[in-house]
Amino acid sequence: MSTADAAQTVEPTKGQRFTGWAANYVDERTSISGLVKELGRKIFPDHWSFMLGEVALYSFIVILLSGTFMTFFFQASMTPVFYDGSYVPLKGIEMSAAMASTLDLSFDIRGGLLMRQVHHWAALLFVASIGLHMLRIYFTGAFRKPREINWLIGFVLFVLAMAEGFTGYSLPDDLLSGNGLRIIDGLVKGIPIIGTWISYLLFGGEFPGEDVVGRFYVLHILLLPAILVAALGVHMLLLIINKHTQFAGPGRTNDNVVGVPIMPVFAAKAGGFFFIVFGVIVLIASLFQINPVWTYGPYDPSPVSAGTQPDWYIGFADGALRLVPPGWELELGAFTLSLNVFLPTIVLMLFLLVVAIYPFIEAWITGDKREHHIADRPRNAPTRTAIGAAGVTSYAVMWGAASSDLIATHFKLSIESVTYSIQALFFLGPIIAYIVTKRVCLALQKKDREIALHGYESGRIVRLPNGEYIEVHEQLDEYDRWKLVSYEDYKPLMLRPDAKGRITNGQRLRSRASRWFFEDRIAPVTRTEIEKSKHAEH
């Protein structure tokens, strides 16, 4: 075919004709071309930390796939049966149908053990990546307007993920999961007034009953996933509406998005990344055993092994229970108030509540009503970063407390001294983390300022005619400098009477909070300062 012909209409190939026909067929019935036009070249900014949410999404898909496979074999029933599968040590032992079918899935179905392990590893990764994703959002301030609602939805997803994890952990009805349920029973019974009845209704009678596995199964594979998928849909939709945040960089502003288009680069990268996440999970599942229920045996209320531990994401709740000192139970007349159980529950709820509403607290303190699409570097919001570090520390202390017995046995310490230390750390840790983080942030800001104004050390030593040695500082180019100087600056609010000449308590509180937030701050380098430093050096 000559070039002259090519310039005119080219006869389409058979494949192209078919594609054209199919696209036309679909569009005439769905008007999907509009969607493709809108979204096909949507821009996604690039940064490694933006992958964390993707990992969560992809591991959820892996969970759905592997979980669906298992539903074909698992029996969610607590009817007692005598195990008669190929795992010899448990042959003839009485156990629930749930446990027996879990063993069959593991030992008599080819690939069944693999799918169980894929499911469990993917679940651990799911909660972990949601947690890290939340930390990324938090520390870069990506929860600010207009994304506060999406933060809340993300928080709901985090809680749902933990609930999914716990209900799933309970399904095999093995010794460990039964003990987990026993603890939940104790926690629920510790709720004042209604606790006894809630436990009674949950277990369909006295603990353990024969209902809870079936009920958790419905929650685990139907109700919770349905809510999760719906919330995930809204989460993604808002992501599209709000567009992704981006880090500051040359050419990037609060009014644009710089990155790669969905078609084709982002689709290839993200699609490829899905396969990588899936592949890594399968690789881990084929190499590393997880939750070998056959070594624990079926649930029995009497035995328990030392060093029992929940899955990692429930650890902080279990640890909080361990930190209560002896004797925290009150008798109010004829009634018993189990503060030793109920108080940790309240503390955990408060912790989660603060996480959920933090964007609104910060928005109120800063009074900032503008939209923010540039992600902060954590150092440039020292107080927020320090609060986050304190929160991470208190979570970590509670989480570590869930391993107090293992810490004691591994390091040959007494359980008492380990517990007392963790109790002290529960109060001191967050304070220390707050102070240290804030100082580190301010120091890093100072360093940035220094580099932006006077350049970086080049390592080149020059001897001046008068014999003095100096190290030559190289100036940054304007692109590199921009990353160091482009951040928002705030100052504490002044307390002033409002339009009616009043000062309300709310205003007082707010200006105090604002002072706490912005008192210690390093202002970004200004144009004037850069000019001055240039003159000084010439």
Partner 1 sequence: MANDHEGTNPRAGTTVEKFRDDNLPGPGTGIVQTDAVENPGFEPFRARVSDLDPAKARANERRVSAFFIVSIIGSVFAIAAYIAFPIVDGDPGTIHLNNLLLGLGIALALLAIGFGAVHWSKSLMDGHDLVEQRHGTRGTEATRAKAVEVFELGNKESGFGRRTLIRRTLIGALVVSPLPAVVLFRDLAPAENPVPLLQQTMWAKGVRLTRDPSGTPIKASDVTIGSAFHVIPEGLNESEHKLEEKAKAAVLLMRLKPQDLHVSAGRETWNYDGIIAYSKICTHVGCPVALYEQQTHHLLCPCHQSQFDITHEAKVIFGPAKRPLPQLPITVDSEGYLVASSDFTEPVGPSFWERKL
Q: Measured from the CB atom, is 19 or 254 closer to partner 1?
A: 254
Q: Are 438 and 390 in contact (CB under 8 A)?
A: no
Helices 224-242 and 51-71, axial angle in degrees (round to 10): 150
Provide the minimum distance between the beta carbon of 55 and partner 1 in the complex, in angstroms, as a whole number: 12
User: Residue 414 in contact with residue 408, Cβ under 8 Å?
Assistant: yes
Q: Cβ closer to partner 1: 164 or 376? A: 376
Nearer to partner 1, 473 or 512 (CB): 512
* Shortest Å distance, C-beta 202 to partner 1: 7
Tokens at 32, concatenated: 């999907």
Measured from the CB atom, the residue of 201 and 353 that comes closer to partner 1 is 201
Question: Cα separations (Å) of 4 from 7, 8, 10, 68, 525?
Answer: 5, 7, 10, 56, 59
Tokens of 263: 């078609």
Dihedral in degrees, nearest 10, Cα atoms 230, 235, 237, 239: -170
Report how far apart, in Å, the C-alpha atoms of 296 and of each of 75, 114, 154, 179, 212 are. Answer: 19, 19, 35, 11, 19
Q: Which is nearer to partner 1, 156 or 524 (CB)?
A: 524
CB 483 within 8 A of CB 249: yes
Greatest C-alpha distance within the chain: 100
The least CB distance from residue 256 to partner 1, in Å, is 5
* Interacting residues of 224 by C-beta distance below 8 A, sequence separation 6+: 160, 163, 164, 167
Between 17 and 41, CB nearer to partner 1: 41
Least distance between partner 1 and beta carbon 308 (Å): 6
Which of residues 226 and 495 has its CB atom nearest to partner 1 in the complex? 495
Q: At closest approach, how far in Å is the CB of 461 from partner 1?
A: 30
The minimum distance between CB 205 and partner 1, in angstroms, equals 5
Tokens of 410: 């591994």
Contacts of 467 (CB under 8 A, 6+ apart): none
- Tokens of residue 323, six digits: 């930190």
- Min CB(491)–partner 1 separation in Å: 5
- Residue linked to tokens 């080219």: 10
Closest distance of CB 103 from partner 1, Å: 11
Residue nearer to partner 1 on the CB measure, 473 or 483: 483
